[in-house]
Structure 1
């Protein structure tokens, strides 16, 4: 029998990847793992925020998302404003040219259809619209995979996000409220599915490789006997509220920081080592503020470079308190009880799905006394909650296997035939 050799499928990945946000890069890592396992013949490259970082870490070619390197800086001078305007026109051409070189483009996870953090319509929403419109015009299948969404009030941003979703060839969401939000914004979601966040498909570091305690010898290490206070991981965020909170952004940030510092002081006063963790490059300022305010050797800071680093730190902790969505996921994946400082519905939904819905606290109104009360209750139920997390993690992993199967059927229609052909070759005498 004569075999026909098909041309490798060209797959692009798109988003604010390589820009310092560990959650975004974790979503990319998950999709690349799927492609390398299920479609090793695919030729993959990226259009992203930090191409140098993506190429260095993931070994794929990458192109800068925006022609204007100062895209996300505030422009006040006439020259900078003109450059931004010109950049929008150039990006339309650049994006279309990039999309045209691919059969499939995947937007891996991330909250690309939401504005729960400050967002301008001419930034990423415009870039996403260019991608989806180019895909529809040029016949390239664009997939929004396990993405986050939220109903948006600002009309320009709402319109761009709505049309981006409508023009995509495939959509799935990381939780039911995301799908509900898109339906409320006028998108037909009848065929859209809900799956866990892509980060739940990443491997969990073995317990034996957990980070060693960096605190004084007098403090209890991870895995100490029951009743002995152990380390607490505190995931921080340079939090100023969401898109609708711009008028009170500084007040929100001050309350969050003051409440967090008071919480840390109480833990340190009880002899608990506290490990500060970030999820984005911008969070370093919050770490510095806490270290300055709580001058104690019990408070240390890590510099995680990936979700795997975060999981390693959290696996060594007794308990985690975190704000960022993917910091929560890392704690949940390692089976470590976590208390969430929530700034959006997505965090509350995630915690409820994983059996920890009672341990949510508003990030905009941090009350240190109430936070401590919830923290102590969480620690009392630690063993029970660890068993619950083991079960929920297995369920999440199985659901993501279904997600990847559905993705293959939607984006690689000839893949089943090709894989069956290869299997037949391997089994032939």
Structure 2
């Protein structure tokens, strides 16, 4: 039995075999088999998503150097410049004139049809479409006609064109809209390979009616990225606390209550930061998305008379910038998932204030399950108590985190081997 198969059996789920490649749709030219498409919400300022893309591209470039890579993404010009690969927009630009009028009259159906034909034309050039990590199968902040339809559209186009589909270490759920849930689960059913980054994602898909018996679990792809070494804390200096803030406006940010949610979140974060500063800690405000700048500004404005001499904040433009800043901290309190991931990769104990179960599930694996709250209802007093306990035991937790992150990396290497032997085997 191979090492790869042993790992997947130990997880209780053997690898999902590729669907039979017969018939005219599966008969592809050798040039097409050398092309790999990578799909996701990349280039739009979400640094965690772009970190997952970087991890996958590094792997593909190393192991499939002859393959032509192209990315189907949200903001193609950014991805093209940052990663040096060909790009294709997830959807065509908004239609104008008579075309826009027809979309309004016929409930957007003409535009959707045009975009589907566009997807067929591009995906037929690829032997495989890889969806690397990210919470691709949830509807956070989106309507059914947004990402849910885009995921379904590209997977259906790939299926019709005989292009293999691999969902790799993805996050799934929650999906509040029934239509969004149907679109996303239908897309997942078309895949030749599926793996999830946590048990919650797999259980969500199973409850949504997807057969997960052959699906596996592997850690988030960002755990393969290199991280800067942290300097050991000098005994004489105060601890530096990284506080990750987010432009959080509820699960559906477009709802009317979004501003009230944001203001309540900012007020509580500012109260916590004020307590840290008053207790003599240094504080570094962290972000994980370029759209988080308003949250930083709002928290700083809400500090009022607090002594901010020990408060710092710097803009970030990549997940590596986040790694660099977190390397200068001793503990982290964060909302965004990839702020939590970055802290763990740097061996930093972390408290999660999350809007979904993914943070809590990850921290539970790291022995930090007692240091989580939901962002909608977190209590500042409890947060201060959690922080005090974690600060006292931070060295013990740090050693445990470093050990478990090392195991995550080895697990991801085994997933790489499996992918190379299955869905990516025809891409050279």
Q: What TM-score do you get using the length of structure 2 for normalisation? A: 0.86
SS of corresponding position for 2:274: helix
Shift of 1:301: 1.4
* Aligned residue in 2 for 1:44: 69
SS of corresponding position for 2:129: strand
* In 2, Cα distance between equivalents of 1:80 and 1:322: 41
Q: Deviations over 1:248-268 (max 9, x none)?
A: 444432321111010011111
Give the counterpart of 2:186 among 127, 142, 163. Answer: 163
* Aligned residue in 2 for 1:21: 46
* Aligned residue in 2 for 1:136: 159
Tell me, yes or no, if structure 1 residue 352 matches structure 2 residue 364. Answer: yes
State whether residues 95 and 111 of structure 2, in contact with CA within 8 Å, keep that contact through their aligned partners in structure 1. no
* In 2, Cα distance between equivalents of 1:177 and 1:244: 23
Aligned CA RMSD, in angstroms, stands at 2.3
Shift of 1:81: 5.3
* In 2, Cα distance between equivalents of 1:94 and 1:161: 20
* In 1, Cα distance between equivalents of 2:225 and 2:169: 14
* Aligned residue in 1 for 2:233: 223
Q: Deviations over 1:87-124 (max 9, x none)?
A: 42321111111110100111111111123x22201101
State whether residues 151 and 184 of structure 1, in contact with CA within 8 Å, keep that contact through their aligned partners in structure 2. no
Tell me, yes or no, if structure 1 residue 89 matches structure 2 residue 113. Answer: yes
Give the counterpart of 1:283 among 276, 288, 292. Answer: 292
Q: Deviations over 1:61-81 (max 9, x none)?
A: 11222212599xxxxx97995
Tell me, yes or no, if structure 1 residue 114 matches structure 2 residue 141. Answer: no
Shift in CA distance, 266/408, structure 1 to aligned 2, threshold 3 Å: same
Shift in CA distance, 154/340, structure 1 to aligned 2, threshold 3 Å: same
* In 1, Cα distance between equivalents of 2:426 and 2:180: 36
Shift of 1:151: 4.5
* In 2, Cα distance between equivalents of 1:82 and 1:355: 55
Tell me, yes or no, if structure 1 residue 262 matches structure 2 residue 271. Answer: yes
Shift in CA distance, 187/275, structure 1 to aligned 2, threshold 3 Å: same
SS of corresponding position for 2:422: helix
* In 2, Cα distance between equivalents of 1:10 and 1:170: 18
* Aligned residue in 2 for 1:33: 58
Shift in CA distance, 261/82, structure 1 to aligned 2, threshold 3 Å: farther
* Aligned residue in 2 for 1:331: 343
State whether residues 245 and 296 of structure 2, in contact with CA within 8 Å, keep that contact through their aligned partners in structure 1. yes
Shift of 1:59: 0.5
Aligned pairs, number: 391
* In 1, Cα distance between equivalents of 2:352 and 2:314: 19
* In 1, Cα distance between equivalents of 2:313 and 2:112: 39
* Aligned residue in 2 for 1:212: none
* In 1, Cα distance between equivalents of 2:222 and 2:105: 39
The within-5 A match list for 1:58-77 is 58-68=83-93
Shift of 1:376: 0.9
* In 2, Cα distance between equivalents of 1:239 and 1:288: 13
* In 1, Cα distance between equivalents of 2:364 and 2:397: 12
SS of corresponding position for 1:142: strand
Shift of 1:156: 0.6
Give the counterpart of 2:311 among 295, 299, 303. Answer: 299
Shift of 1:273: 2.0
* In 2, Cα distance between equivalents of 1:40 and 1:83: 46
State whether residues 322 and 340 of structure 1, in contact with CA within 8 Å, keep that contact through their aligned partners in structure 2. yes
Q: What TM-score do you get using the length of structure 1 for normalisation? A: 0.86
* In 1, Cα distance between equivalents of 2:315 and 2:117: 38
Structure 1 window deviating more from structure 2 (249-258 vs 53-62): it is: 249-258
Give the counterpart of 2:377 among 365, 379, 386. Answer: 365
Shift in CA distance, 83/35, structure 1 to aligned 2, threshold 3 Å: farther
State whether residues 290 and 317 of structure 2, in contact with CA within 8 Å, keep that contact through their aligned partners in structure 1. no
Greater relative CO (CA pairs within 8 A, separation 6+): 2
**Runs of 5+ consecutive residues of structure 1 not aligned to the other structure:** 1-5, 72-76, 209-221, 419-429
* In 1, Cα distance between equivalents of 2:258 and 2:249: 5
* In 2, Cα distance between equivalents of 1:155 and 1:244: 18
State whether residues 130 and 166 of structure 2, in contact with CA within 8 Å, keep that contact through their aligned partners in structure 1. yes
State whether residues 270 and 300 of structure 2, in contact with CA within 8 Å, keep that contact through their aligned partners in structure 1. no
* In 1, Cα distance between equivalents of 2:328 and 2:95: 39
Structure 1 window deviating more from structure 2 (361-370 vs 23-32): it is: 361-370
Q: Deviations over 1:131-181 (max 9, x none)?
A: 111111110001111110124342111110110001112111111111111
Tell me, yes or no, if structure 1 residue 182 matches structure 2 residue 205. Answer: yes
